[in-house]
């Protein structure tokens, strides 16, 4: 066989192998890092700001987020991929919370045990009084301790309490505190049934404080705290997003506080929805967790050890803590 024919065949084989490898690589589906719900209908675009439309995406459906960016994200919907504005998305769920924390979430770093009477308030929050031995979640930044209050935060005087840092879950041992979150509710913030709402919050806190989850277990807020009925002990109180009242009003603040504590660990959220696009006043937008007849807040313990839940209302300050649960009996 002439030399040039051998070279020609070798080149053809190499080209074929290169094309085969390229096709095989393109056939491997890119892995999503988040799912998100759409806030409006839109078209996937070939590129950011491109006028070329790839596929229509309806409102209120879940899409896969392949690449996240604050302005434009790369999505997949029903096998079609393209770009869309990130502002068209909400209710993000991380599919790998170890490596991909939830966008927009700023975790607390520890708890603050109050040692003297202290009033906290922001421009939007009417104010709450913290008294000795109350426990709230805080975020340490440099030498300051920031207390998240509603959709803002306030700096705590260094002399007002003692800081205890969360133990990283990777090195935690039995009995270690690994996460926590606090939300505030005023006893007299214009709600005619504020006292009943406090009763409902206290009951839900009592119920979830009995939970210890083994690795692989899934927690359902509705399963633990429901049904939200008078027979269970709940009272009529204000319902978020409604002008009326309903039995169990207030339990969503407990589920929301727990949800934000869960986000501080690589636990897998399996069911979750917000109340409305506008959210609720006591947490940043898109970080509330609605529970009830048509919605639940569920997560799976993906840690290699049990976790124990603890929740307690403290005269307007609701704190949820997550502990290394040790060995289950």
Q: Tens digit of pLDDT for each residue in 8-48?
A: 555 544 544 454 444 334 435 799 999 999 999 999 999 99
- Tell me what pLDDT residue 4 has: 54
Axis-axis angle for helices 251-262, 194-208 (nearest 10): 40
At 237, the pLDDT band (50, 70, 90 cuts) reads: confident
At 151, the pLDDT band (50, 70, 90 cuts) reads: confident
Using one digit for the tens of pLDDT, what is the confidence trace for 183-229? 998 654 444 447 888 999 999 999 999 899 999 999 999 999 999 99
Using one digit for the tens of pLDDT, what is the confidence trace for 68-80? 999 999 999 999 9
- Tell me what pLDDT residue 10 has: 57
- Tell me what pLDDT residue 26 has: 41
Is the backbone peptide bond immediately before 227 cis, with ω within 30 degrees of 0?
yes
At 278, the pLDDT band (50, 70, 90 cuts) reads: confident
Residue with tokens 């705290």: 225
Q: How far, in Å, CA of 19 to CA of 185, rounded? A: 62
Q: How far is CA 146 from CA 136, 152, 209, 265, in A?
A: 11, 10, 26, 20
**More confidently predicted of 317 and 185:** 317
Lowest mean pLDDT among 122-131, 224-233, 292-301, 314-323: 122-131
Q: Which CATH class is domain 34-94?
A: mainly beta
- Tell me what pLDDT residue 6 has: 61
- Tell me what pLDDT residue 19 has: 42
Q: Among 85, 47, 50, 51, which Cα is nearest to 69's?
A: 85
Q: Which residues of 65-80 are buried (b: 16+ CB within 10 A; e: fewer)?
A: bbebeeebbbbbbeee
- Tell me what pLDDT residue 243 has: 54
Using one digit for the tens of pLDDT, what is the confidence trace for 79-125? 999 999 999 999 999 999 988 889 888 999 999 999 999 888 788 78
Residue 150: partners with Cβ closer than 8 Å, 6 or more residues away: 122, 124, 125, 184, 281, 282, 283
Taking residues 232-254, report their average pLDDT: 83
């Amino acid at each position: 066989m002439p030399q040039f024919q051998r070279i020609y065949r070798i080149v053809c084989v190499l080209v074929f192998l290169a094309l085969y490898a390229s096709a095989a690589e393109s056939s491997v589906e890119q892995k999503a890092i988040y799912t998100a719900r759409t806030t409006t209908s839109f078209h996937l675009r070939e590129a950011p700001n491109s006028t070329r439309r790839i596929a229509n995406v309806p409102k209120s459906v879940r899409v896969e987020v392949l690449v996240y960016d604050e302005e434009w994200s790369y999505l997949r919907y029903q096998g079609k991929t393209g770009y869309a504005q990130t502002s068209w998305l909400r209710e993000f769920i991380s599919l790998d919370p170890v490596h991909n924390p939830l966008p927009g979430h700023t975790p607390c770093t520890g708890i603050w045990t109050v040692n003297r009477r202290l009033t906290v308030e922001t421009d939007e929050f009417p104010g709450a009084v913290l008294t000795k031995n109350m426990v709230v979640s805080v975020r340490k930044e440099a030498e300051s301790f920031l207390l998240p209050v509603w959709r803002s935060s306030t700096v705590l005087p260094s002399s007002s309490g003692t800081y205890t840092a969360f133990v990283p879950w990777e090195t935690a041992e039995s009995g270690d505190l690994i996460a926590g979150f606090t939300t505030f509710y005023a006893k007299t913030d214009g709600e005619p049934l504020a006292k009943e709402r406090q009763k409902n919050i206290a009951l839900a806190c009592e119920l979830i404080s009995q939970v210890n989850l083994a690795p692989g277990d899934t927690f359902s807020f509705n399963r633990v705290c429901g049904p939200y009925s008078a027979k269970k002990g709940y009272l009529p109180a204000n319902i978020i997003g409604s002008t009326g009242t309903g039995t169990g009003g207030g339990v969503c603040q407990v589920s929301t506080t727990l949800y934000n504590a869960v986000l501080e660990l690589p636990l897998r959220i399996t069911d979750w929805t917000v109340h409305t696009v506008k959210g609720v006043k006591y947490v940043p937008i898109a970080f509330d967790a609605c529970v009830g007849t048509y919605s639940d807040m569920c997560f799976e313990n993906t840690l290699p050890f049990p976790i124990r839940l603890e929740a307690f209302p403290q005269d307007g300050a609701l704190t949820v803590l997550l502990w290394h649960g040790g060995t289950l009996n």
